[in-house]
Structure 1
């Protein structure tokens, strides 16, 4: 038998239908949910089919799933109206008709499905489904991001003129994954969205355009089950990578990154590079800034005198398993101020500083005063000086300064006219030349040359000192014999 509620329903009027419409509007539904203006268009494809842009818009309707709290309204049958939490299986149990699967349906589709089932018992049933509390959405972020993987993002309530559900966007997801890497191609970011059970839609987003022009349509709102894929750039552009690093969806500049540096630096090895002040860079403290190649060199104690700064290479692993190789010319940075040559480093980078085949004296002098070089150089002063040993000097110190730092000549024994200067050259050879000493001379290559790191200055003995040492060598054994004879009274 049909109860009184059903009799009322069978005799409902058009006025009642109008009242139903007003009630439906008063409750929150997906019609009030956040809409995405000006979305890129695409065509539905199977998971193995390449996406092709078309006039088909991206599906933005909310799909019901486990965890959603909904309200099912059966007009003029209040005992059949109620709130339901959708279980993980996706089916809700309704009065009279029993279990109804709503997983993956929009609220409109769910209302139609419920109406079809109630049609067996009710005449022209009017059903509405309203979303009261949406579940968090589960997405996956893959490719060139700092922490690829699955993430759960919460939805928020709207405000003002947009009172419906506010969905997280692509940029929010990338930020949750700790940002894109410097190897990313942000002009070809893919958003994959499931349609039903067997197909998906794929849209390509240009986040570079979003940064440059502010086209918010590139920042699409997400739905449950979406996958974001950030591809690897095929051609690395230093200038674009530097701009990308400044975007708020890039990896944080304050995150420490492990970088290896090998070749012509004073302390090759692996370093933890961070932004901000670098304590103990190339022998001192470096100022604040980005985590770059220059900062890594400073941490490694600066370049050696054999470094070829025109042909540095940076090797960078990517998420695809391949490796990007970036050519760097730091001489171009020093000469013309090309800041793009000071590449921002990321975790896993390897910097290679090759050996120069030839470096002019003028170039070596200029390099010694830059932040690439150590703040102190080590020069050995040996022989007839008052304090022989390794002496720490300022870059571009002269031969005379090294002699004075070693306490000056041992006047009674030193050959003060000339000293020997021994130098290891970039090509692996060693040169030795005699330099006439004149403390009245300023810096010049002939009489008072500028020293380089690891130079050795040898102060020889004077002729008198050599003769005296020779006599002592000969007389030494005779003195021992005469001493023994005196002991025995001979």
Structure 2
């Protein structure tokens, strides 16, 4: 969970900063030592000093994640005086790096595969070689903290970081013990008894001496570092998570020691941003929460804080950032939503009032990270954001001039409509999540069974929720129950019954669900049986698309699972690739459904673009692609993957016309085993992908032998003899071929 984090407003050496030199030293020290920041939300505004935002990297070339970024940082990685950008993606994970080539302009993206979802990213020089390395927190396939070490030739190597084999979210780098070497602090969310905040002291050679974190207990989502009491020693603040969580602080005592915990506020917190929000020279804290907006704590310079009236006390935000968006000299607020509400913006009058600015930034989307730094060298901070499903974006600030399109030279820049991250949907019209349990919301037409207990004897009564959302039970008349869960209703009804019964005991459950539905249309019902096929289906709680399709009898054989469309009540249409959900476990494609959704499963059309996969694969055949782009890894995966006999390093793609086909060699082994995305060839309509069993030495002979298959595909009415020879290829029988 990367944020602005006070790196730009405190000296990372731990020395107290005279106020007269505060901002000058902040820019120099905060950038050189810390370098990068992590997740913070974007903004939307068009006041005098802010230009209209331009998207520049929705889907970086070579990434197959659809631009699912959760982390971003900005730093001069190669010491050329130009700022560079690095972003971290999820599922499969990678780090994308864009080197600056001119103010506000960037070179082609470099992709570094990381086995796992990148949740946070920051930069620092751990080995004292003068080059900034990247540090990422990762989970899924791998978990822990990893170092992506930079070489002078702009090559990057993934290495293990500190001995951190647990689940970490936010990370920070700073010289915490004042020895001149970079240290790492990380927020641990493994379990209540194996979490806390960890701090590893660096030895200046890329190694780690010891772990001196202030606590090993409690779940934490993010960490912030600054000298809050201005004693020359860095302090630490942690974003607690869970039922009994707090926003906690520990003051540094020097040499890596810590004070006892100081509780700033109760509640579950996502992200921490440290900045001098009110320009008084003291470090302030902005903290985002789960379903309670964000909080602002004004520092007094002595380790104590004043809670400030906040402009937003509802909703879940992952990150928050302070920057002057209207040029009035006062910092304003941008916050990134976790509830598909995009970037929210508030202008601050410098005293005590905020004004909401609508339509300044995207009003939909999930924004996990943002950084403000002067990318184009005009002396005004610009905004860089990371959004799940929407890639990396920059908004250039300035007093004049227009934004140029395509500041990132990444080839074809397109926007892919990616379904929402279903792991963060905790409530809609159908269900709500409490204490990790998904509970159905009661509605009109539902049948409730209420058991009233007298001693050990229970009396059951069934009640239908009336169209007005009310019920009557015993002495309680016209109780409004719509939108409550059974557990919530139990509490409300018990409280009402206490007016008549001293200690009422009741149990409530929903026995019939009749208030919430989805409609399923198209190519479904392919598994046969009764009750399947297109129609209307009840929602009985948190349900996903694949689950409901199974209830409808499953997809038909010719269903196009790569382009399933879900239409919401508000007419928004979301496309989902259920093939990825089924074969790769990609839950972002298996959407959580809401009341009134319509699911449409189309048929595969003959006019669709398609490729042909044959040779050493489990299911040779024809495979369509309906998305803007299909790559060779996708095609081989659709064909069931390669067999144990496949010669992975000699895969061939045949492209072009019959008389003069082009043969492209692909080292699929380097792609599948080493993560070399340069081998993940973008396919075009009509490509033939051949996975051989042995080395192909004579390309001319290969072309001659494959021509019958090429002709068969383009002209189906070929001779039986040619079909027989072609079918040998489809089966992988290479007796007569190289």
If the length of structure 1 is used for normalisation, what is the TM-score?
0.31
More helix by share: 1
More strand by share: 2
Q: Whose Rg is larger?
A: 1
